Amino acid sequence: MNKKNLLDRFLRYARIDTQSQEDVESYPSTAKQLDLSRLLLKELKALGVKAAKIDKNGYLVATIPSNLPKTDDAFGKVPILGFVAHVDTSPEVSGAGVKPQVIAYKGGDIPLPGDTTVVIKASENPGLKDNIGKDIVTSDGTTLLGADDKAGVAVIMSLAERLLSDPKIAHGDIKLAFTPDEEVGGGTKFFNIKAFGAQYAYTVDGDKAGELNKETFSADTAVVTVTGRDIHPGSAKDIMINAARVACEIVARTPKGMAPETSEGYQPYMHPYVIEGGVGQAVVKILFRDFKTEGLVALRKRLEDIVADVQALFPKAKIAIKVTESYRNMGPILEKTPLVLETLWEAATRAGVAPSWVPIRGGTDGSRLTEMGLPTPNFWTGGRNFHGKTEWLSIEDMGKSLEAAVHLVQIWVEKSRQ
């Protein structure tokens, strides 16, 4: 396995600014994401991939044709597999001018050179100790690193290179997709699964080596709009209705024991993540998250009760709630196609890591793809601390991700021969 090549790919991709942006009408939300997609297209062509293009919505899709001879028992039987990663990085932290640092990790905290107040703490990163004596990658502390998901992009590109250069690796038709706008919830907005043509797919967008994901949250977003009445404070008595005060009252009443910062594992949460406005109008955006889709109904009811109570305190304010669906837990659908899960488990085992199914407290492109009819679990890239300046990447784990992907395509061929 050419690890140097994989790392070079990652570093090359990480330096390109591909930050996506919230609340933008255009698609993709930022044109610069395609800078990376265009580079990937060029690299795929150079590798000899003929069927590769960027479609009108900015999806880079490519096909690596099967190398099975007609005499192979799996010929015509092995399912078409897809590998999916997203090119964008989180809008939360700048992705401009990323300076990746390759560090020989010797243990302890890691102050980052561009801003020494940004420290990757050993106490907050139990995964660091597995990397003592090994190389890891960080940013310089002024930006995120973008291992989410350029590590996944690098793994898939290296997989393509391996499949095209090593005829000993038997595989069926393989489809690759690089999507924009995953971080702003739009990764699959215009994705055409029919045109993609895969029967099963895998997102490469996870965490630590061995961690496999078949369950995500089910997610809705509530927008609470408070309309008040603005007037000069000097003559406001009995007339002014302060929407900002009403909005704060609503946020103050959201359950503190059911928040992202106080919950873990399979626990649900209600997360007021945006509050903005003033006297005349204020808006609160709230995330509902639960692994059980029916749990979202209870979260919504809870918010409605809070709003009813606050409305009674401020009878003249107008308060409206609008809830929209974000994505659904892919677990119940994936369980119906157990082979897509068993093959992934086997691939991790053959790559020499101990696999485990870990619920994702978030969503992936796979949540939507699975719902649309393309079963798509997720596996690790080696990246950690996503969406922050303390993001880091275990080079060893990224290498294991590539090894697992190479095993995975072969396991499907083996299974199809039976």
Residues engaged in binding Zn ion (CB under 5 A): 148-149, 205
* Shortest Å, Cβ 150 to Zn ion: 10
Q: How far is the CB of 180 from Zn ion (least distance, A)?
A: 12
Closest of 282, 289, 200 to residue 245, by C-alpha = 282
Considering beta carbons, is residue 204 or 250 the nearer one to Zn ion? 204
Q: Which of 161, 173, 182, 397 is catalytic?
A: 182
Tokens matching residue 306: 């809070």
Q: Is 272 helix (H, G, I), strand (E, B) or coil?
A: strand
Q: Which is nearer to Zn ion, 205 or 346 (CB)?
A: 205
8 Å CB contact between 263 and 313: no
d(CA 52, CA 57): 14
Q: Which DSSP string do the residues of 154-208 spell out, in sequence order?
A: HHHHHHHHHHHH-TTS----EEEEEES-GGGT-TTTT--HHHH--SEEEEE---S
Distance CA 337, CA 376 (A): 10
Smallest separation (angstroms) from Zn ion to the CB of 153: 10
What type of residue sits at position 386?
F
- Bridge partners of residue 112, in order along the sequence: 115
Q: Of 274, 286, 279, which is closest to residue 242 (Cα–Cα)? A: 279
Residue nearer to Zn ion on the CB measure, 63 or 158:
158
Q: Which of 88, 149, 207, 346 is catalytic?
A: 88
Nearer to Zn ion, 153 or 170 (CB): 153
Minimum distance, C-beta of residue 89 to Zn ion, in the bound complex (Å): 9
Nearer to Zn ion, 255 or 362 (CB): 362
182 is catalytic: yes
- Residue whose CB is less far from Zn ion, 152 or 331: 152
Q: How far is the CB of 1 from Zn ion (least distance, A)?
A: 23
Distance separating alpha carbons of residues 118 and 387, to the nearest angstrom: 14
CB 153 within 8 A of CB 13: yes
Closest CA to 167 of 72, 43, 80, 79: 72
Specify the residue, 184 or 307, whose C-beta has the smaller distance to Zn ion: 184
* Residue 14 CA: distances (Å) to CA of 6, 47, 125, 149, 252: 12, 20, 22, 9, 39
Could you tell me which of 240, 242, 238, 254 has the C-alpha nearest to residue 321? 254
- 100 touches 137 (CB < 8 A): yes
- Do strands 211-213 and 356-357 pair parallel, antiparallel, or not at all (unpaired)? parallel
In angstroms, what is the minimal distance from the CB of 272 to Zn ion?
Answer: 23
User: How is the beta sheet containing 392-394 ordered, strand by strand?
Assistant: 101-104, 135-138, 392-394, 383-384
Q: How far is the CB of 97 from Zn ion (least distance, A)?
A: 21
For the question of residue 88 being annotated catalytic, the response is yes
Residues involved in catalysis: 88, 182
